Amino acid sequence: MSEPALVALRKASFSYEDGPPVLSGLDFEVREGRTLALLGRNGSGKTTLMRLLSGGLRPDAGELTLRGRPVAYDRKGLTRLRTTVQLVVQDPDDQLFAASVAQDVSFGPLNLGLPDAEVRARVDEALTALDIGHLADRPTHLLSYGQRKRTAIAGAVAMRPEVLVLDEPTAGLDPDGRERLLATLGGLCEGGTTVVMATHDVDLALLWADDAALLTPDGVRTGPASAMLARTDLLHRAGLRLPWGIAVERLLRARGLVSGAAAGPRTPEELAALAHAHADGPGPAPTAGA
Ligand SMILES: Nc1ncnc2c1ncn2[C@@H]1O[C@H](COP(=O)(O)OP(=O)(O)OP(=O)(O)O)[C@@H](O)[C@H]1O
Ligand SMILES: [Mg+2]
């Protein structure tokens, strides 16, 4: 039998007070060591699902499990959940509240009652991971949006969670900031953190995630990102479009330029290399963006 999922929702339903059901009978699993992108249209319930996973909301029916065991919503159970799963909300201003970056990032570890030296070590580690060590003493209200996002993520990383759940972490970042954040998250994954990300960006999901979960009105469907993000029917139901990489791969397959089990190019650079390999006669290598 396979290992139980690190964290999972089983037949979970949730409605906000007096509202219609947002999620009904939902089965959702986060598998250890796999990066997972959660996608769906505005209002489909991504944020709600993430808050259920991190214990901020409690399902009306069904259950949340940690390594197969149901989570108890008492003090002990919730502490165990919060040291395992950390949520970073979409808007950093909903998360940051302390006067300085270092104070904000130290809040979680201090709250766990850890000794000062351990708290300092975790704060340093988190600031370094997010590349914001130079901002440690900066007042949070003077930070740029991207810096506030990184600070919010550092606060979660300082808890050394097994699962880091990020609600649209790249929204509002410039292209370089986005690349740097994805590299940082890649580093955390290599270090053993399981990362779950809600995003509307199908191209990012295809490039970055091992698995993709699509929230549709019929529930959530999860599988390998390259297969799920090629499902035009599901994408349509989830209010999404075909990723660039899949569209290009289809075109190239139709022309016989990609065949067999090989995946198509996923970046402009890979497309340029493929075009160069198939170019007639000698010539300079085409460069992306040229
Ligand atoms: N605090 C709340 N009280 C009542 N209804 C809410 C609350 N938060 C969200 N909802 C409703 O629940 C549904 C799902 O919202 P949710 O924020 O989970 O969607 P989402 O997929 O994260 O959307 P987006 O892509 O816009 O962030 C929506 O219909 C929304 O109006
Ligand atoms: Mg949301």
The contacts of residue 97 (CB under 8 Å, 6+ apart) are: 104, 140
d(CA 196, CA 211): 10
d(CA 65, CA 2): 15
Percentage of the residues of the chain whose pLDDT score is greater than 90 = 79
Answer whether 48 contacts ligand 1 (Cβ < 6 A): yes
HEC string of 202-223 equals HHHHHHHCCEEEEEECCEEEEE
The 10s digit of each residue's pLDDT in 63-112 is 999 999 999 999 999 999 999 999 999 999 999 999 999 999 999 999 99
- The ranges assigned to domains in the chain are 30-59+71-240, 243-290
The 10s digit of each residue's pLDDT in 119-164 is 999 999 999 999 999 999 999 999 999 999 999 999 999 999 999 9
In whole angstroms, how far apart are CA 236 and each of 38, 43, 106, 198?
A: 15, 15, 43, 17
Ligand 1, atom 25: nearest CA belongs to which residue? Answer: 42
Answer whether 59 contacts ligand 1 (Cβ < 6 A): no
- Partners of 213 in beta bridges: 38, 222
Answer whether 44 contacts ligand 1 (Cβ < 6 A): yes
Q: What is the predicted pLDDT for the residue at 173?
A: 86
As its CATH architecture, domain 30-59+71-240 has: 3-Layer(aba) Sandwich (3.40)
Q: What is the predicted pLDDT for the residue at 287?
A: 55
Q: How many CB atoms lie within 10 A of CB 137?
A: 10
In whole angstroms, how far apart are CA 259 and each of 116, 254, 263?
A: 58, 9, 8
Global pTM value: 0.91
Average pLDDT over residues 169-179: 88
Answer whether 42 contacts ligand 1 (Cβ < 6 A): yes
The 10s digit of each residue's pLDDT in 20-62 is 999 999 999 999 999 999 999 999 999 999 999 999 999 999 9
d(CA 10, CA 30): 12
Check: CB of residue 205 under 8 Å from CB of residue 183. Answer: no
The 10s digit of each residue's pLDDT in 154-163 is 999 999 999 9
pLDDT over 90 (residue 19): yes
CA 255 / ligand 2 centre spacing (Å):
39
- Closest by CA to 88, choosing from 192, 177, 170, is 170
DSSP the chain: -PPPPSEEEEEEEEE-TTSPEEEEEEEEEE-TT--EEEE--TTSSHHHHHHHHTTSS--SEEEEEETTEEPP-SHHHHHHHHHHEEEE-SSGGGT--SSBHHHHHHHHHHHTT--HHHHHHHHHHHHHHTT-GGGTTSBGGGS-HHHHHHHHHHHHHTT--SEEEEESTTTT--HHHHHHHHHHHHHHHHTT-EEEEE-S-HHHHHHH-SEEEEEETTEEEEEEHHHHTT-HHHHHHTT----HHHHHHHHHHHTTSS-TT-----SHHHHHHHHHHH-SSS-PPP-TT-
CA 46 / ligand 2 centre spacing (Å):
5
Report the first-to-last Cα separation within the chain, whole angstroms: 51
Average pLDDT over residues 183-211: 93
Percentage of the residues of the chain whose pLDDT score is greater than 70 = 96
Q: For residue 21, give the amino acid letter.
A: P
In whole angstroms, how far apart are CA 160 and each of 151, 183, 187?
A: 15, 18, 13
The 10s digit of each residue's pLDDT in 224-262 is 999 999 999 999 999 999 999 999 999 999 999 988 888
* Ligand 1 pocket test target in 13, 28, 38, 48 with most atoms within 8 Å of CB: 48
In whole angstroms, how far apart are CA 198 and each of 16, 36, 169?
A: 20, 9, 8
Which ligand sits closest to the CA of 45? 1
Which ligand sits closest to the CA of 39? 1
Place of tokens 């065949």: 259
pLDDT over 50 (residue 223): yes
Assign 288 a pLDDT band (cuts: 50, 70, 90).
low
Q: What is the predicted pLDDT for the residue at 290?
A: 43
Q: For residue 58, give the amino acid letter.
A: R
pLDDT over 80 (residue 280): no
Which ligand sits closest to the CA of 167? 2
* Ligand 1 pocket test target in 44, 165, 215 with most atoms within 8 Å of CB: 44
